[in-house]
């Protein structure tokens, strides 16, 4: 049972003997291509070219072939000892740029949504070992919104105890942008039921995200300048990052002593249209939100 030096098994009984055995015995089997990996961009903009890399160390062995697969289908093979070395197999939605593809990388021209998915690279060493290693990763194809995010439904002034209700949305995109709302710099986590949804994908797979805010306004929400800042951040992976930032004010009648307020306008009087934020881009009241 005891794993001595004469019984070359890969045992984990003692970390040291296991390590020694691994180095002495196992490495002969697994040395090559040990650290093979793919470097695939997490997200690529639609219609841009995408370069997928296969990173490996032959550790003295000769390369026999590199094969690239999308899902189960092989679409590119590089065999250095054959002429031509590079072969392209046509599959739907992928256009390989042969002049920018070799033993280390494959470049796809003008990727569309159909190019998104799982990609695998298979590295094979030549004789005598024929060691093969397969590594894979995912490519996302992104179409960003045409405009920055937009906060809708804000009034320019509020009174204490009133609810601030607003929505943030972006133009449709694929995938829909992640929207995060900040109130005075702190991430807003809605406890009340507020809208948070995506529209159905259109024919280009684009969806519009909407996130709602509903806050009962207290004095603590307003700084010394009687303002509250609301910010909406829209992100898509690491390829898109835009914000809309607004500030709203406490109604000036709240800044005067209560006895004067009594004789002033009643707090519940309906607001005039010009009390509303003009929406900057002229899109309030936002008929676009569906």
Least separation in angstroms between residue 233's CB and ligand NAG is 11
Report in angstroms how near the CB of residue 43 gets to ligand NAG at its nearest: 8
Q: Which one, 123 or 141, has the nearer CB to ligand NAG?
A: 141
Positions in the binding site for ligand NAG (CB under 6 A)? 152-153, 165-167, 175, 178, 195, 210, 212, 235-237, 289
For residues 251, 186, 243, 176, the Cα torsion angle rounded to the nearest 10 degrees is: -120
Ordered strands of the 209-216 beta sheet: 150-152, 163-169, 209-216, 196-198
Shortest CB 170 distance to ligand NAG, Å: 11
Q: How many CB atoms lie within 10 A of CB 105?
A: 19
State which residue, 149 or 175, has the beta carbon closest to ligand NAG.
Answer: 175
Q: Which of 290, 140, 112 is nearest to 204 (CA)?
A: 112
- How far is residue 231 from each of residues 38, 69, 109, 189, 234, measured CA to CA in Å? 37, 43, 37, 13, 10
Query: Considering only CA atoms, which of 86, 77, 89 is closest in space to residue 121?
Result: 77
Give the DSSP letter string of 65-97: EEEEEETTEEEEEE-TTSSSSEEE---TT--B-
CB of 70 to ligand NAG, least distance (A): 21
Q: Which is nearer to ligand NAG, 86 or 248 (CB)?
A: 248
When the beta carbons of 223 and 285 are compared against ligand NAG, the nearer one is 285
State the nearest-atom distance from the C-beta of 270 to ligand NAG, in Å.
Answer: 16
Shortest distance, position 243 Cβ to ligand NAG, whole Å: 15
Beta-bridge mates of residue 122: 67, 134
**Of residues 98 and 196, the one with the C-beta less far from ligand NAG:** 196
Of 50 and 210, nearer to ligand NAG (C-beta) is 210
**Beta carbons within 10 angstroms of residue 286's beta carbon:** 15
């Amino acid at each position: 049972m005891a794993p001595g030096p004469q019984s070359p098994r890969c045992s984990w009984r003692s970390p040291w003997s296991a390590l020694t055995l691994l180095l002495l015995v196992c490495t002969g089997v697994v040395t090559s291509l040990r650290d093979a990996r793919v470097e695939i961009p997490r997200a690529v903009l639609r219609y841009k070219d995408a370069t997928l890399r296969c990173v490996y160390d032959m550790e003295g062995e000769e390369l026999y072939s590199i094969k690239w697969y999308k899902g189960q289908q092989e679409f590119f093979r590089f065999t250095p000892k054959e002429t031509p070395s590079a072969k392209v197999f046509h599959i739907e939605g992928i256009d390989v740029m042969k002049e920018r593809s070799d033993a280390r990388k494959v470049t796809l021209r003008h990727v569309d949504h159909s190019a998104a998915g799982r990609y695998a690279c298979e590295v094979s060493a030549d004789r005598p070992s024929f060691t093969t290693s397969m590594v894979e990763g995912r490519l996302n194809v992104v179409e960003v919104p045409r405009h920055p995010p937009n906060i809708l439904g804000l009034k320019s002034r509020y009174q204490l105890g009133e609810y601030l209700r607003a929505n943030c949305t972006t133009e449709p995109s694929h995938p829909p942008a992640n929207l995060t709302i900040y109130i005075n710099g702190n991430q807003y986590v809605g406890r009340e039921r507020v809208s948070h949804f995506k529209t159905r994908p259109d024919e280009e797979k684009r969806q519009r995200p909407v996130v709602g805010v509903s806050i009962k306004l207290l004095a603590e929400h307003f700084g010394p300048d009687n303002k509250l800042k609301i910010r909406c951040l829209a992100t898509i992976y690491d390829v898109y990052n835009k914000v809309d930032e607004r500030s709203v004010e406490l109604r000036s009648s709240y800044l005067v002593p209560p006895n004067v307020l009594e004789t002033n306008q009643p707090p519940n009087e309906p607001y005039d249209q010009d009390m509303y934020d003009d929406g900057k881009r002229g899109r309030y009241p936002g008929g676009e939100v569906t």
